[in-house]
Structure 1
């Protein structure tokens, strides 16, 4: 953690206005007192919080799980997964980044009343409310990620992180003990409550009848003045809706087996708490009817939120497609994802290689696990009659990909297993997230725009399904929401499979244990390559053999139309065969500096 911040990191992009979401720019150093006379400098503190949100970019920590490997031998997640994870070498370390962001938020919250953002007193009051709300929401989000990455057991107590709520200057006491997990959760909830009370549910332009009562009572009657502070042009900033999503994420973490022993967490760690938090968002979305489904063509042409060119091109000023609750700004035309991950025959580096483990997790076209006796899966033709997500997310032998959209031959040539440094190691390439309208031929090398989702609505629906199943069972709806865990999973699978009936789901809908397994698998499939599985396996506290399951791959022989697939074999081992790996370590350097900062057991 940066213990002494004597200067304020100033960013050029400040009030977002008509810019798309929030894109930090160049830095300048200024003295802190400058904030009192220049509002831009004050707002730059908030920008620093946004800049440190861990959701801003792809992590691809999937390659440290049983879902994928990488062909890049220098990849830090590969090193971590294969035995080099230590308290001094931790690729998923969030300590410095999150604590630094929290420090900036603390400074802003402490100093904001001394700042002036506009000469108009009413406008200034609203700006301060909004920015305070942003700061509380961002602080809570950073604390959640800090907790997920570093909470753990110490001498029989589940601990989180030291809680700093004020600016840490040169004379401050940094040698504070870690607060217990429940206290950290309480602080996160308090910050989220503060954010929700200060922020609009979402940013939208209102008419004269839409001014919130608290501002009407303050004498604000000009709705255009309200829109200048809380209007649609600020979409993409922390909002009441986003703060509620962070609450659902944090509540799910606290309820999960690795972080809830039945006594340490109290009400902060119940499945019902998580289900209710997610339901509040789902209700605003319209319940099951609001689940973001795509047209029927989605099942046949492979388009989706990351590859829908017309939808992506229409996004501006922070607007969201139906799938997105919160997203990062539009990235200028580029082909970085495709350069990194296209197969070598498409002039890519083939970095992310899905495993046979993940491929086998996709059910057949009727929703049955491929190991089920009712499945239409055939080992002789393993990619036929499968869940459409398989071929939409993963390039298998014979798949068409990119431009010129030709079949990928994993049986021979540079796309074959381990043929060159950029070839697949598992027999598969990643397709999800990549724009298939990119042509990387040297004489063309076309580009397309992209964006990174920060929170998808599908994640929120999955949070509800998991928490509701654990709290009340698959079919129960004790809160009267109009939907159950079963209903949510039915909607997710209907969108994925494109089937009117789901016989496998119907066969298990009264069995909480079987439903748990299905929900976990649906989360694995829907969120693959988005950085979830590494954390999910740990919060579920799966068995150590499952946590350290080796990554499997296959080889292919023959042609694209007549081929044989080998028996799956280990491509890469996973070195998570100790219970300490359920929890990340506190950085070694921090525990050396501060005697009260205890390390998690085993590290």
Structure 2
């Protein structure tokens, strides 16, 4: 075997506590040759673990600052306000993350399966080897997807829709620098091939029980749920206006098949949001790990709750939440009242956003008015710029007040890379585009409308009634807008809206709409006046529908072609 010098990584206990041995922190140890690593069963099993570290395990809140969903308390992100550059794309890091992990996985394919994984139990040894091979295929598919999701675009030379450099072997740096980008469809089919291989090796739909190969301890690893969910998401993107590589019918069928396999034949009611701390939430189709701390609360609680209030949701996003009957707030039948704008709203608004007044959350009264605790000049000189604070993903069980030390100051944080709600939304969007307002093929057991109804009527966090759904179902454009709005709400503060507006190719005037906020004035009778204000401008141009490949990668390569407009 040819010697490769590699940095062997070992596993130590997680920082903080966790629910299982599976959730661990990867740290470097010592340099070992490939022969030394891959002749030891325990080291070989652990070699693949660092490839999981590039899988996002927290919501990508920062990407919202490049849309009109939110701003950062510290000021405008330069790329959002003045325009992206090839050197300063907010997703540039995804290139090196994906490529480096693909290298590691390919090394595992080359050397990681020539040993016996358990010297004393042949059945266990073969079970482990089969699952690990499936994980390697699944992880490589995921990182290829990261590249495709972030960097696909039209060629700067001839406009061909390009995808990614397909690297399925262990190569030297020189060899890699000579690999060109394949077309989008070739890249898409390469990912499908890896997912098919993963599916053939992984027999587990969802890890549960206490088995040595398929037990709950392995929840964070690639499963068939993850494989189905990734198939559906990438099919949705491939069918979208920005790419147009497959039909909407194919995308709808892919998502439908995923739901049938995962849910056992039909749609399921969703779990309540709660504190986002349920480590065994059945709606989570894939998550890498979870933490047990108060970091999100420390960053995003309002000042009166001893937080930094970093993420400030916009009035644009607030206006996207319908009234309690499901009507858009500008609809003639809506119960929305601008005098009391936060009354009778979709319950997700209450769970996702801190607003002025009484909040059903630790019995908090948020003061976002002149002289209030949560405004500039209150407890903290640096306070919300929009009149709102982020609440989604925060736990009400965390108390940052040092004078109340008897209460906990940490809680589990669970973020799903793929969720059941996300899968239902993938199906609904593709189905209405494929089949119109009826939202399903004749052979399908449920429609897009039924999938959206499940999402909008989530227990404890849904609508009081959904009078609007039937009305929206009469018109394709109305229903398309409804589904897109549901994605905006459901994926709020996860970063998905950044990608959605691009693949939908929303008009430039929408993407350049200013980020709005609200000024709140308290009256002598304790009532409030709410007035809109502009917070930040946006500078979105045609070339920004597709992200640039990092310029350094283009310069170091002999073969990579940049996306149009970024050369």
TM-score where L is the length of structure 2: 0.91
Task: From the superposition, tell whether residues 20 and 549 of structure 1 become closer, same or farther in structure 2 (CA, over 3 Å).
Answer: farther
Structure 1 segments (4+ residues) deviating >6 Å = none
Query: Does the CA-based 8 Å contact 2:57-2:289 persist in structure 1?
Result: no
After TM superposition, the structure 1 = structure 2 runs for residues 432-451 of structure 1, keeping only pairs within 5 Å, are: 432-444=392-404, 446-451=409-414
Spell out, residue by residue over 1:260-311, the C-alpha distance to the aligned partner (whole angstroms, 9 max, x if none). Answer: 1xxxx2xxx22222222222232231455413144xxxxxxxxx24346xxx
Task: From the superposition, tell whether residues 529 and 356 of structure 1 become closer, same or farther in structure 2 (CA, over 3 Å).
Answer: same
Task: From the superposition, tell whether residues 289 and 239 of structure 1 become closer, same or farther in structure 2 (CA, over 3 Å).
Answer: closer
What's the counterpart of residue 165 of structure 1? Answer: 168
What's the counterpart of residue 306 of structure 1? Answer: 275
Alpha-carbon separation, structure 2, partners of 1:371 and 1:417: 30
Spell out, residue by residue over 1:198-235, the C-alpha distance to the aligned partner (whole angstroms, 9 max, x if none). Answer: 002325568xxxxxxxxxxxxxxxxx9xx422334322
After TM superposition, the structure 1 = structure 2 runs for residues 140-539 of structure 1, keeping only pairs within 5 Å, are: 140-154=141-155, 155-169=158-172, 172-204=175-207, 227-260=211-244, 265=245, 269-283=246-260, 284-286=262-264, 289-294=267-272, 304-307=273-276, 312=278, 315=279, 320-332=280-292, 334-400=293-359, 403=362, 405-411=363-369, 412-416=371-375, 420-444=380-404, 446-478=409-441, 480-495=443-458, 496-500=461-465, 502-539=466-503
Alpha-carbon separation, structure 2, partners of 1:415 and 1:430: 13
Alpha-carbon separation, structure 1, partners of 2:521 and 2:515: 21
* Number of residues of Structure 1 aligned to a counterpart in Structure 2: 547
Task: From the superposition, tell whether residues 349 and 204 of structure 1 become closer, same or farther in structure 2 (CA, over 3 Å).
Answer: closer
* Structure 1 stretch displaced more, 61-70 or 469-478: 469-478
Spell out, residue by residue over 1:115-145, the C-alpha distance to the aligned partner (whole angstroms, 9 max, x if none). Answer: 3311244433222211110011011111111
Alpha-carbon separation, structure 2, partners of 1:5 and 1:442: 52
Give 5+ residue unaligned stretches, structure 2: none
Q: How big is the shift at 1:389?
A: 1.4
Query: Does the CA-based 8 Å contact 1:414-1:423 persist in structure 2?
Result: no
Q: Is residue 32 of structure 1 aligned with residue 34 of structure 2?
A: yes
What SS is found at the alignment partner of 2:403?
A: coil
Alpha-carbon separation, structure 2, partners of 1:413 and 1:18: 40
After TM superposition, the structure 1 = structure 2 runs for residues 76-115 of structure 1, keeping only pairs within 5 Å, are: 78-83=77-82, 85-93=84-92, 94-115=94-115
Alpha-carbon separation, structure 1, partners of 2:403 and 2:449: 51
Task: From the superposition, tell whether residues 549 and 394 of structure 1 become closer, same or farther in structure 2 (CA, over 3 Å).
Answer: same
Alpha-carbon separation, structure 1, partners of 2:412 and 2:123: 39
What SS is found at the alignment partner of 2:492?
A: coil
Alpha-carbon separation, structure 2, partners of 1:453 and 1:409: 32
For the aligned residue pairs, the C-alpha RMSD in angstroms reads: 2.5
Task: From the superposition, tell whether residues 81 and 274 of structure 1 become closer, same or farther in structure 2 (CA, over 3 Å).
Answer: same
Q: How big is the shift at 1:407?
A: 0.8
Query: Does the CA-based 8 Å contact 2:473-2:479 persist in structure 1?
Result: yes
Alpha-carbon separation, structure 2, partners of 1:406 and 1:45: 47
Alpha-carbon separation, structure 1, partners of 2:27 and 2:7: 13
What SS is found at the alignment partner of 1:12?
A: strand
Task: From the superposition, tell whether residues 194 and 479 of structure 1 become closer, same or farther in structure 2 (CA, over 3 Å).
Answer: farther
Alpha-carbon separation, structure 1, partners of 2:239 and 2:269: 24
Q: How big is the shift at 1:561?
A: 4.2
What SS is found at the alignment partner of 1:51?
A: helix
What SS is found at the alignment partner of 1:586?
A: coil
What SS is found at the alignment partner of 1:564?
A: strand
Alpha-carbon separation, structure 2, partners of 1:541 and 1:251: 17
What SS is found at the alignment partner of 1:114?
A: coil
Q: How big is the shift at 1:436?
A: 1.5
Alpha-carbon separation, structure 2, partners of 1:49 and 1:137: 11
What's the counterpart of residue 528 of structure 2? Answer: 563
Q: How big is the shift at 1:368?
A: 0.9
What SS is found at the alignment partner of 2:161?
A: strand
What's the counterpart of residue 10 of structure 1? Answer: 9
What SS is found at the alignment partner of 2:402?
A: coil
Q: Is residue 581 of structure 1 aligned with residue 544 of structure 2?
A: yes
What SS is found at the alignment partner of 2:418?
A: strand
Q: How big is the shift at 1:489?
A: 1.2
Query: Does the CA-based 8 Å contact 2:11-2:24 persist in structure 1?
Result: no
Q: How big is the shift at 1:523?
A: 0.9
